[in-house]
Amino acid sequence: MGQGQQERVVTSLADAVTEEIGARLAPVDAELERRYPGDPGTRQPVHTVYVPADVFAADTLRTWGDQALAALDEHAPDAASFAAVLGLDGTLAEDVYGRVRAKLEREPVEDLRVDFEDGYGDRSDAEEDAAAARAARLVAEAYAAGAAAPYTGIRMKCMEAAVRDRGIRTLDIFLTGLTEAGSLPDGLVLTLPKVTYPEQVTAMVRLLDAFEEARGLASGRIGFEIQIETSQAILAADGTATVARMIRAADGRATGLHYGTFDYSACLGVSAAHQASDHPAADHAKAVMQVAAAGTGVRVSDGSTNVLPVGPTEKVHDAWRLHYGLTRRALARAYYQGWDMHPGHLPTRYAAVFAFYREGFEQAAARLARYAGRVGGDVMDEPATAKALAGYLLRGLDCGALDASEVARATGLTRAGLEGFASPRRGGPTASAQ
């Protein structure tokens, strides 16, 4: 066949066959769209900080930031000393250390949870009522003043019979207080702990439905996180993955799955000395959570370490190395969020996160730029990889590890362009976005 000669195209199937298959699969298409809408495209905090309700105060965020800075001043007063503890190379250490200090001054906490569960304990009804009302007032005032963490909310007591009524009342008081103060903040996050059966999730959905109806809010306005702390939350008695059924039971309200390191480990009989987020039992649970949540828009969070960076410098350095290593390990496994239980954890949380994104920035940006420009290179990337590369850069931007100007220079893309690659089902990149 001569060059430029048009190929003869021949088919055998009638158009009716294609139409029939489309009709057969239409319910499947709708189910996929409903159950697996993809990542919501919103910012995911790098951590959640838990503060008992009785000690939560208007200056909690600033106090945590100041205590974290004081820990650096005492135990790692410069980039070189911090690098020696964590094993960072010189150039990276200077950048990371500067960014950590700036973060602690500007935004020390990304996600705050006022705790009415394990960190708060059992109190009189009058005391917990007052604490819930106070928490609502302080959160509302912080948002009104522009001083709140990007995400803020409470962890209520669970849906088990012994504490169910108390948890419901605390949630009601807190949400009512926020609505009475004006409106629910966009960054509101609620955590439902110790979920064992999907029916407990269904009960939470009913509770929020009733509150929205009572206050004239849009249906589905309030979402919540599901805390995974029992073996039954991973594997049900019938052998099914309970956590997948929980996501379904949430009916679109679930925003996250949070792994509870110590309750889950104890549930499996892991001895106290070996209860940690890198234990094989923890890895299994989080892998099941990750697969169950994939594509649903529900995000997975790692748990915490109970080794606190307190005491003499040597002990602080040991705790920092442990926390840094666990955080880097989680990031490599695509657990982009974890829990921090003490202000001293903030320096190593941000150091690990910033180093993770700084180390991979140049390669990720170059690969995405080649893909966007349809330019060949030494790695053949596909749309799914471009999605992951863009998501990586967006997470780095959101937490402060990367600067918008350097990402734009390296990729040739604006944030809108990055978002187009990261969430293609929400609208692919256009020429104007690049």
pLDDT tens figures, 304-363: 999 999 999 999 999 999 999 999 999 999 999 999 999 999 999 999 999 999 999 999
Does residue 415 sit within a domain?
yes
**Does 1 score more than 80 pLDDT?**
no
Number of domains in the chain: 2
Question: 284-293, 348-357, 365-374, 420-429 — which is least confidently predicted?
Answer: 420-429
**Does 380 score more than 80 pLDDT?**
no
Is residue 266 exposed (0-12), middle (13-18) or buried (19+ Cβ within 10 Å)? middle
pLDDT tens-digit series, residues 198-255? 999 999 999 999 999 999 999 999 999 999 999 999 999 999 999 999 999 999 999 9
Residue spans of alpha helices (H) in 198-311: 198-215, 242-249, 261-267, 280-293
Does residue 26 sit within a domain?
no
**Does 28 score more than 80 pLDDT?**
yes
Same domain, 310 and 384: no
Does residue 153 sit within a domain?
yes
Does residue 371 sit within a domain?
yes
- Geometric angle at alpha carbon 94, from 91 and 98, rounded to 5°: 150
Task: For residues 156 and 64, give the distance between their C-alpha atoms in angstroms, rounded to a whole number.
Answer: 22
Same domain, 97 and 210: yes
Q: Which of 343, 375, 408 is the last residue of a domain?
A: 343
Core vs surface per residue 156-174: b (16+ CB within 10 A) or e: bbbbeeebeebbbbbbbbb
Q: Which of 286, 313, 343 is the last residue of a domain?
A: 343
Give me the residues paired with residue 153 across strands.
Answer: 113, 189
Model pLDDT, residue 383:
86
**Domain region containing 392:** 360-433
Task: For residues 3 and 1, give the distance between their C-alpha atoms in angstroms, rounded to a whole number.
Answer: 7
Same domain, 269 and 385: no
Task: For residues 2 and 70, give the distance between their C-alpha atoms in angstroms, rounded to a whole number.
Answer: 77
Same domain, 382 and 415: yes
Same domain, 380 and 288: no
Task: For residues 272 and 310, give the distance between their C-alpha atoms in angstroms, rounded to a whole number.
Answer: 20
Compute CA 179 distance to the chain's CA centroid, rounded to the nearest angstrom: 25
Pairing of strands 299-301, 338-340: unpaired
pLDDT tens-digit series, residues 62-103? 999 999 999 999 999 999 999 999 999 988 999 999 999 999
> Domain containing 96 — which CATH number?
3.20.20.60
Please answer whether residues 328 and 355 qualify as being in contact, where contact means their C-beta atoms are separated by less than 8 angstroms.
yes
Model pLDDT, residue 427:
45
Paired tokens of 22: 């489309």
Q: What are the DSSP calls for 88-152, one per residue?
A: --HHHHHHHHHHHHHHHHH-S-SEEEEE-STTT----HHHHHHHHHHHHHHHHHHHHTT-S-SEE
Same domain, 100 and 204: yes
Mean pLDDT of 400-426: 91
What Rg, from alpha-carbon coordinates, does the chain have?
24
Does residue 100 sit within a domain?
yes
Same domain, 55 and 204: yes
Does residue 355 sit within a domain?
no
Query: In the chain, what percentage of residues exceed pLDDT 70?
Result: 95
Please state at what angle helix 383-399 crosses helix 415-422, rounded to 10 degrees.
130
Handedness of CA 349, 352, 357, 362 (dihedral sign): positive
Q: Which of 295, 310, 343 is the last residue of a domain?
A: 343
Task: For residues 388 and 272, give the distance between their C-alpha atoms in angstroms, rounded to a whole number.
Answer: 37
pLDDT tens-digit series, residues 89-138? 988 999 999 999 999 999 999 999 999 999 999 999 999 999 999 999 99
**Does 428 score more than 50 pLDDT?**
no
Element (H, E) at 234: none
Model pLDDT, residue 5:
79
Same domain, 145 and 281: yes
Paired tokens of 218: 């849009």
Does residue 382 sit within a domain?
yes
Mean pLDDT of 377-391: 79
Same domain, 98 and 207: yes
